[in-house]
Amino acid sequence: MKKQWNLKPKADEHLVAEIQESLGVAKIVAELLVQRGITTFETAKTFFRPDLNDLHDPFLMKDMDSAVARLSTAIQQGENILVYGDYDVDGTTAVSLMYSFIKTIHDKVQYYIPDRYSEGYGVSFKGVDYAANNQFSLIIALDCGIKAVDKVDYAREKGIDFIICDHHRPGDFVPKATAVLDPKQIDCLYPYKELSGCGVGFKLIQAYCQKFKIPFVKIIPYLDLLVVSIAADIVPITGENRILAHYGLQQLNENPRIGLKALMEVSDRYKSFTISDVIFGLAPRINAAGRIEHGVKAVELMVQEDIELAKEKAQTVNQHNLKRRELDQSITEEALQMIVTDAKSTVVFHPDWHKGVVGIVASRLIESYYRPTIVLTEHNGKLVGSARSVKGFDVYDAIDACSEYVEQFGGHKYAAGLTLKKENLEVFTAKFESIVADTIKEEMLIPQVSIDAVLNISDIDHKLYRILKQMAPFGPGNMSPIFMSKQVVDRGYGRKIGKEQTHLKLNVTDTNRSQFLDCIGFGMADMFELIKGGQQFDIAYALEENEWNGNVNLQLRLKDIRI
């Protein structure tokens, strides 16, 4: 698939020179920092040395006083507390965090994860009934609840209070809960708006500890759960999230809780975990519990205190992930055969596809046909599915424009879920295609490669890589740098590799010919013809280390190749 390369504008030369001199770094590093808004010694110090003392006062968040007061009353009066969260990674880590903390000071606490298939996302009437039938008087909802106006009213009628810890955008009305913690509320003055759902839960326990003079060091061990949520939910790794992610990775690598340690051991990743390792090693396994069996299984693993039981549960979750992979692969292959190649959008349906993986399949289809995509299956007599979009296009708005044919939908710009009647599939598909064709720009249908800077192969060394590593953790708002090198040639060792011969291995140099570096291009074997015969080509790549047989060498992780 052809990609558009976009080289970022050059950073201000004056600012680059200043930061280069004040930090004593190479010019390329100074350019990267200025691109990221780091233009002074002080901002660089904050960036390279995250400090837990720079976390915001949790009581700056709207309703935090009320939340802490209600939680402390419940604990003092011996009330039954139900910790309620969504079935995805953010929700299950948030529930694990809140439950584990409350459990240390109060024994009347349980957790509840809604069933993905019978209850759906967020707070459910079934969940409220469970609380009422089991004498819970307080529900703490995490990563959900900001739109559960009717569920909170229903709970209040049954004598149940709610504390909502959410990070999604509120609707027109906010639930009448005892406390609503959500920094995205218009009238919430909390300085940082991009916390994960687990992050909002962490601010509640931070506030509780602050109120009752429990040392902050007591809650640092919960940061391993928090960094998993930050990575998996793809929130910006800036500001407060950067601090929490930095120390969360430290906790995860040095002293993880038993459940996460067991999961790390079955994830096929043996080195120090990065944000990327969490995204690809831990998050899919945690998610698989809710997709294949039930999200509560993920919580049971993450709160487990017995190492042998944790290992058993980690193996079970890992088996769910293997099953998820099989379903993902087989359904993707089937769906690819259904795609109308000359359309601007993709809508595919099969009644027997597994509801738990349709979102993943939609993302897979975009890798082959880069355009807004909806994958539908049948559940309880209706069509249900997931939508995924391409950069710049609002798929939520496109579905909204087809709302006359949709039973219900929700989500955001790049991902949404929807339900429609079977008889409306054909007219919905036609309307969705029409809306996309009329509103999408042609450039949105071409994958983009955003390049930070041009780099000579001869300028790459271990010193540069060590400094780039210090810019981590990487993620939205601070992506791992992507470089471009021009007019490189393969040494003649270029070949296809992998069990299915789908990957590309090269050894390249540029016109200086002073250094040769290995390159790996996953899924790029179809570009082999571009690099044969000593012809010159350009490469876009990230810099990484590769360890093999005890030797550590620099390697270029290819993003694209072009003549």
pLDDT tens by residue, the chain, 563 residues:
789 999 999 999 999 999 999 999 999 999 999 999 999 999 999 999 999 999 999 999 999 999 999 999 999 999 999 999 999 999 999 999 999 999 999 999 999 999 988 887 789 999 999 999 999 999 999 999 998 999 999 999 999 999 999 998 888 899 999 999 999 999 999 999 999 999 999 999 999 999 999 999 999 999 999 999 999 988 999 999 999 999 999 999 999 999 999 999 999 776 789 999 999 999 999 999 988 889 999 999 999 999 999 999 999 999 999 999 999 999 999 999 999 889 999 999 999 999 889 999 999 999 999 999 999 999 889 999 999 999 999 998 999 999 999 998 877 788 888 999 999 999 999 999 999 999 999 999 999 999 999 999 999 999 999 999 999 999 989 999 999 999 999 988 889 999 889 999 999 998 777 789 999 999 999 998 888 878 899 999 999 988 777 788 899 999 999 98
End-to-end CA distance of the chain, in Å? 14
Enumerate the β-bridge partners of residue 483.
Answer: 453, 541
Nearest to 163 by CA among 173, 147, 178: 178
CATH of 338-445, one of 3.30.420.40, 3.20.20.20, 3.40.50.300, 3.10.310.30: 3.10.310.30
Q: Judging by beta carbons within 10 Å of its beta carbon (0-12, 13-18, 19+), is residue 337 exposed, middle or buried?
A: exposed
Angstrom distance (rounded) from CA 151 to CA 169: 17
User: Which residue has 């559940």 as its token pair?
Assistant: 379
Pick the CATH number of 58-318 from 3.30.565.10, 3.90.1640.30, 3.20.20.140, 3.40.50.720: 3.90.1640.30
Separation CA 409–CA 400 (nearest Å): 8
Among residues 59, 60, 29, the alpha carbon closest in space to that of 47 is found at: 29
What's phi and psi for 286, nearest 5 deg?
-65, -45
Q: How far apart are CA 75 and CA 98, in angstroms?
A: 14
pTM: 0.91
> Which tokens is 51 given?
């400090």
Domain limits, the chain = 58-318, 338-445, 449-562
What architecture (CATH level 2) is domain 449-562? Beta Barrel (2.40)
Q: How far apart are CA 257 and CA 251, in angstroms?
A: 9
Q: 7 has which bridge partners?
A: 451
Side chain identity, residue 97: L
| Helix residue ranges, H only, 386-451 | 395-400, 425-439
Closest to 263 measured CA to CA, from 293, 287, 245, 231 = 287
| DSSP string for 296-318 | HHHHHHHT---HHHHHHHHHHHH
Short-list 147, 139, 133, 144, CA closest to 167 = 144
As to burial, measured by CB atoms within 10 angstroms (0-12 exposed, 13-18 middle, 19+ buried), residue 42 is exposed
CA 129 to chain centre: 31
